[in-house]
Structure 1
Amino acid sequence: MPILSIFIVLFYLPKLFALDPYTHFTSLDLPPKSIGPESIALDRFNQGPYIGISDGRILKYKGPNVGFVLFAYTSPNRYERMKGFYELCDDVTDPNLGPTCGRPFGFSFNNFNGVLYIVDALLGLFKVGPEGGLATLIAKSAGGVPFKFLNGIDVDQLTGDVYLTVASQTFDLRNVIQGNYVLDSTGRLITYNPITKELKVLLDGLSIPAGPVVSTDRTFVLFSEFSTKTVKKYCLTGLKANTTEALLNLPGNPVKIKRAPEPGKFWVAVNEIVQQQPRNATPFGYKFDSFGEILLIKNLEDHYSNIIVNLVQEYNGGRVVVGSREVKFVGMYSK
């Protein structure tokens, strides 16, 4: 209900901000030289968080005494066995090494079998078992079109079906980091069936989509469109099956969407960008429901000043976790 959403944003901002119970902030520091926890997840045993960083590794947090350790990686070329065992990619930040080292830009666990499905922004769709290690490539294209910029993923916990977004078919992550891209409408929403191994394009012509998430009742998939500042609903069942509608209009650019612990509720990372050069941006987390009603707005500026956030996710136990490809820590807010 976009009209209702706009009404709430305009007239009830003080109330929505005042409702924020997540006022205590702590951070989990990444290993030295590491940066960019773009995606974050907990496994089926509530362990982690697991994070993807800019040098292509997926790390797992093992507690304050251990910190983050290597869990998985997507590129078989990551380690070059020359002059002994030489680590080619660890801690690199050069985006041009992405095709060699990989860049996991989103992942989601299948909680039944512990398999982690990964979208690597430059290399394709992967999976890795609970033991971690080198991930297995599933696909580098869908519908005969190679992936250009994979950026979001979610798993249907009942069927095991995987939903993923392609941000663009004309530019990739390297263009974004280097600032030499033009926003377009060539994004796609795709589904993967792990039983039949089939990939199916559900939607194309999307304006920088991200953050697909399946509703708890499995009746729809939500995704954001960065360029149009909207959250959209793709219906899976009922009279509106296979149709799309705008659920939420926002004052900023949305990125990934994640389920909240309560059924029918979600979080989306939103960045209000006033100007690009020099950048002036304020990051937020918006909590909303399946009807498009905004429940809470969390201002993240105190700890993410002028930083683009990519993910805001709430876990059981009253924790809200924030991911950004621009920082060297995972931010955690608690009650």
Structure 2
Amino acid sequence: MFPQNNQSHSVSRTTRASSWPFYTIVFSLLAPVLASILVFHLDSFDPAPFPNHELTHHLPEPSMKNGRLLQGSEFLGVGLLQGPEDIAYDSKSGVIYTTCADGWIKRVTVNDSVSDAVVENWVNTGGRPLGVVLGRNSDVIVADAYKGLLKISENGEVEMLTDEAEGIKFKITDGVDIADDGTIYFTDASHKYNLHDFMWDILEGKPHGRLLSYDPATKETKILVSDLYFANGLAISPDQECLIYCETAMRRCKRYYIRGNRRGQTEKFVDMPGIPDNIHYDGDGHFWIASATEITLFWKMAFRYPVIRKVAGIILKHIGELETNKNGGVFVVDLKGKLISQYHDPRLMLITSGVKIGTHLYCGSIIYPHIIRLNLAKYPAVHVTK
């Protein structure tokens, strides 16, 4: 009897001992899952559905493309331009004004060779200048994310024109353009989140953006359109009848009439197969619309399902930045809203502006330490074979 009891105890101990690794493995697998579920339900971030039904079911594609923008490109002002977000060109002086992440508005000479470029620290706003356009009296108008709408004189004196509308402060003063009558049109991408937290505005999926105007004569700021999904770049049409503005989070550009019988009305201009940013008119019948990234699988899912954006927000909060962007570049769109061509590259991301100067395309971004320049005559977009 005793030998049998000893054997029974031995088997029992062996069974208990062998079960510990099993439970340890199960616990190590389940614990992160349970913790993630708990964090998900306790986190107060509550994204909303996007009104995707307003978009074109099948996004248009341009008939001409240059899918290797970086091949043949040159880099202007290497190491001297920190995140040159937007670009304005003064044809009289041959100087580019660009807005940088360190607060500087820099002037860059445009020469045949990028090695001959001269970068000048012109004015530091003390904020983060984004959109920029040449003014009417040798001044420069800047949309500064933190400071508001600014006017900078030829001598470099900074004047704050406006930083609120109807009692609500701008949080991300963004795109800007000027009509022939002197009226300044601009966007406030979000009145809830500041630039540092701009990703939260997009992930939340709620319309905090505004399209506005400022009259220098009366100093009046008006809200033209509210409840926009991250209102970003804008450009006035050559006939001065309307302006084109983009809603980055909705992947679209819309037309707003500023004159004529349709004044105050808004209509669709173009739905984008990318995520749009600044818009520039080239004087030759085309708008050049920057695309920060193509609509990747992540963004397709995120724009469709709020739960994906909530998970992304939790990752952003507790782990760090999300790698979701690629294939940035510039779209060329005609005055009727038809996509004509695209310049892009799989290695590019967060391209924020595209300006055609002569036979060259100049691209700004919020991450690169230079302006990208491409000779359009040597490296054109070509017809896509389907």
Deviation at 1:21, TM superposition (A): 11
Deviation at 1:179, TM superposition (A): 9.5
Find out whether 1:26 has 2:51 as its counterpart: no
Structure holding more helix per residue = 2
Gaps of 5+ in 2: 1-54, 300-321, 378-386
Check the 8 A contact 1:44/1:109 in 2, yes or no: no
Equivalent AA in structure 2 for residue 67 of structure 1: V
- Point out the structure with max Rg over C-alpha: 2
Structure holding more strand per residue = 1
Check the 8 A contact 1:73/1:135 in 2, yes or no: no
Q: Which residue of 1 aligns with 2:253?
A: 231
Correspondence list, 1:171-182, <5 A: 171-176=193-198, 182=204
Gaps of 5+ in 1: 75-100
Please give the alpha-carbon distance, in whole angstroms, between the structure 1 residues aligned to 2:66 and 2:119.
Answer: 34
Q: Which residue of 2 aligns with 1:108?
A: 133
Equivalent AA in structure 1 for residue 127 of structure 2: G
Q: Which residue of 2 aligns with 1:68?
A: 119
Find out whether 1:16 has 2:67 as its counterpart: no
Find out whether 1:40 has 2:63 as its counterpart: no
SS of the equivalent of 1:45 reads: coil
Q: Which residue of 1 aligns with 2:148?
A: 124
Please give the alpha-carbon distance, in whole angstroms, between the structure 2 residues aligned to 1:66 and 1:329.
Answer: 12
Check the 8 A contact 1:151/1:211 in 2, yes or no: yes
Q: Which residue of 1 aligns with 2:168?
A: 145
Q: Deviations over 1:31-70 (max 9, x none)?
A: 45x5100011112515221111111011111364462111
Please give the alpha-carbon distance, in whole angstroms, between the structure 2 residues aligned to 1:293 and 1:308.
Answer: 23
Q: Which residue of 1 aligns with 2:159?
A: 136
Q: How many percent identity over aligned positions?
A: 24
Deviation at 1:280, TM superposition (A): 3.9
Q: Deviations over 1:133-192 (max 9, x none)?
A: x41111121222111111110111x21111100001111111137999634301000111
Equivalent AA in structure 2 for residue 293 of structure 1: K
Check the 8 A contact 2:193/2:201 in 1, yes or no: no
Find out whether 1:313 has 2:355 as its counterpart: yes
Q: Deviations over 1:284-323 (max 9, x none)?
A: 311111211111111233xxx15211111112x2111100
TM-score of the superposition, structure 2-length normalised? 0.70
TM-score of the superposition, structure 1-length normalised? 0.80
Quote the RMSD (CA, aligned, Å).
2.6
Check the 8 A contact 1:125/1:137 in 2, yes or no: yes
Q: Provide the aligned length of Structure 1 versus Structure 2.
A: 294
Correspondence list, 1:1-335, <5 A: 8-9=60-61, 13=62, 15-17=63-65, 24-32=72-80, 34-62=81-109, 64-65=115-116, 67-74=118-125, 101-110=126-135, 112-132=136-156, 134-156=157-179, 158-176=180-198, 182-262=204-284, 264-270=285-291, 271-274=293-296, 275=298, 277-301=322-346, 305-315=347-357, 317-334=358-375, 335=377
Please give the alpha-carbon distance, in whole angstroms, between the structure 2 residues aligned to 1:273 and 1:18.
Answer: 18
Please give the alpha-carbon distance, in whole angstroms, between the structure 1 residues aligned to 2:233 and 2:175.
Answer: 5
Equivalent AA in structure 2 for residue 193 of structure 1: D
Moved more, 267-276 or 51-60: 267-276
